Amino acid sequence: MAKPQVRYVCQSCGSIQSKWMGQCPDCQGWNTLEQEASQAATPFANKHNLRGGGRRIELASLSSEIEPAPRRPTGMTEFDRVLGGGLVPGCAVLIGGDPGIGKSTILLQAAARIADNGGSVVYISGEEAVDQVRLRADRLGVAQSPVQLGAGTAVRDILTTLESQPAPTLLVIDSIQTLYSDQLEAAPGTVSQVRAASHELIRYAKTSGASLVLVGHVTKDGQIAGPRVLEHMVDTVLYFEGERSHAFRILRAVKNRFGGTDEIGVFEMQEKGLAEVTNPSALFLTDRDRPVAGSVVFAGVEGTRPVLVEMQALVVRVPSGATPRRAVVGWDSSRLSMVLAVLEARCGLAFSGHEVYLNVAGGLRIGEPAADMAVAAALVSALLDRPMPNDLVAYGEIALSGEIRPVSQSAARLKEAAKLGFTRAFVPPRGNSGREIATVEFPTLAALVDHLTDGL
Ligand code: TYD
Ligand code: MG
């Protein structure tokens, strides 16, 4: 028998090395390699080729006579929207997010909803004791829902339990990092364990038709532990995000084999659990009675839904010689550097002697380049210390040449702005002119800056 080999597995990206190193050569993470015994050599490893001796796989045509199994809505509209209409039988979903963001809460609420509507749900908690989960259920007012609750961390025990009864509609595992397979020596939470445990559970889901939801913890740098390993194995990856200091929570799909990846679900964390927010715009706009310099409303789109959010900029002069700070919350910091560079190079506005802070109100994260124009307007307004009118929205992408580029879904953006009482919009050229709202088209960023410096 071959003697078991020692290998070193990166706990961040899953790459395997034959010797220990301080830095992972693949993902460049420091101190991420950990020693693990490799899996026992299979009889195949000793054979020279794999031809012959296998089982024949039945090859079929692409068309199918079988109707696709219907989706199972959770009953939480915002959750279903992100899933692409509901859970697919046999699917594996991974929900990642910072500790304390509300993963267990949303899943317990969804589990209770499904159970109340006649589905069968098994909820396995590896982190909390049964009584702790019951306390949460009590707080959420779902203690009477027929959810089957269990505490356990051994995959073998979980599978034995599941196989002793009919497959549930939904199986929740909270969390995947607490599970261990006794076939491996590695500690729970290591890449090998996470991979082995997920593999077994996903196989159970695929063969039984149960929809599987795994909770995954996020590491300090914002990725699910063993990220690439897990994300490849599951059908759908969702992130639950939000600022702890705010009540808003966003559920976002980053991978979905059964739906789009651009939809978001918006929730508000309340005393009795997560409430769905069907009109997010009203939520992300702060009290706007008094115009403030540096604040501009961006007419954004998340998935198919328009969302208005306030971009806040603060520009502070620093003594000459000091390196000015740039800090961003809720937007891409390299995108901010780009907008600042274009303002400087194409419009003659100097920010180099100023600290610049940019904040997206309400704890939302914006990924759209369409926010460029609103950010630029907020920066100029902050630099000049001149408030923008508070009945104004803006959107448009800025090119390095200083041109303002059209963006998609302008009709939806304008319609939402009009609905919320805005009367003016700064838009890219050839944009839809809104019927309910007055639009001002700017072909270049310089034209926008001229307009702002001339007075409004
Ligand atoms: P939890 O679901 O335990 O987070 P996770 O599973 O992602 O670690 O949520 C914990 C936080 O949510 C905690 O700070 C308390 C808060 N919370 C409420 O505000 N209201 C509630 O009804 C519940 C259940 C939790
Ligand atoms: Mg939890």
The residue ranges of DSSP E strands in 87-127, in sequence order, are 92-97, 121-125
Q: What is the pLDDT of residue 306?
A: 87
Whether residue 242 has its Cβ less than 6 Å from ligand 1: no
Q: Which residues contact 384 (CB under 8 A, 6 or more apart)?
A: 293, 452, 453
Share of residues in the chain with pLDDT > 90 (%): 54
Distance, CA 351 to ligand 2 centroid (Å)?
44
Residue with CA nearest ligand 1 atom 15 = 100
From the alpha carbon of 98, which atom of ligand 1 is closest? 7
pTM of the model: 0.77
Q: What is the pLDDT of residue 245?
A: 76
Residue with CA nearest ligand 1 atom 9 = 102
Helix (H) / strand (E) element for 259: namely: none
- Compute the average pLDDT of residues 363-383: 93
Report whether pLDDT(200) > 90: yes
From the alpha carbon of 99, which atom of ligand 1 is closest? 8
Q: What is the pLDDT of residue 337?
A: 95
Answer yes or no: are the C-beta atoms of 360 and 250 closer than 8 Å. Answer: no
Q: How far apart are CA 168 and CA 211, in angstroms?
A: 8
Whether residue 272 has its Cβ less than 6 Å from ligand 1: yes
Whether residue 178 has its Cβ less than 6 Å from ligand 1: no
- Compute the average pLDDT of residues 221-232: 67
Quick one: which ligand is closest to 245's CA? Answer: 1
Q: What is the pLDDT of residue 260?
A: 80
Whether residue 339 has its Cβ less than 6 Å from ligand 1: no
Quick one: which ligand is closest to 241's CA? Answer: 1
Q: Which residues contact 63 (CB under 8 A, 6 or more apart)?
A: none
Which pLDDT tens digit goes with each residue over 128-155? 999 999 999 999 999 999 999 999 999 9
- Compute the average pLDDT of residues 342-360: 93
Q: What is the pLDDT of residue 80?
A: 94
Residue (of 292, 258, 298) closest to 280 by Cα position: 298
Q: What is the pLDDT of residue 145?
A: 95
Pocket test for ligand 1, best of 105, 127, 217, 276 (most atoms within 8 A of CB): 105
Q: What is the mean pLDDT of the chain?
A: 87
Whether residue 103 has its Cβ less than 6 Å from ligand 1: yes
Whether residue 100 has its Cβ less than 6 Å from ligand 1: yes
Whether residue 139 has its Cβ less than 6 Å from ligand 1: yes
Whether residue 136 has its Cβ less than 6 Å from ligand 1: yes
The mean-pLDDT minimum among 86-100, 198-212, 269-283 falls in 269-283
Report whether pLDDT(282) > 80: no
Distance, CA 126 to ligand 2 centroid (Å)?
9
- Compute the average pLDDT of residues 216-233: 71
Q: Which residues contact 294 (CB under 8 A, 6 or more apart)?
A: 312, 313, 314, 315, 378, 379, 381, 382
Which segment, 297-306, 318-327, 394-403, 418-427, is predicted with the most confidence on average? 394-403
- Compute the average pLDDT of residues 8-36: 84
| Preceding amide of 175 cis, omega within 30 | yes
From the alpha carbon of 269, which atom of ligand 1 is closest? 19
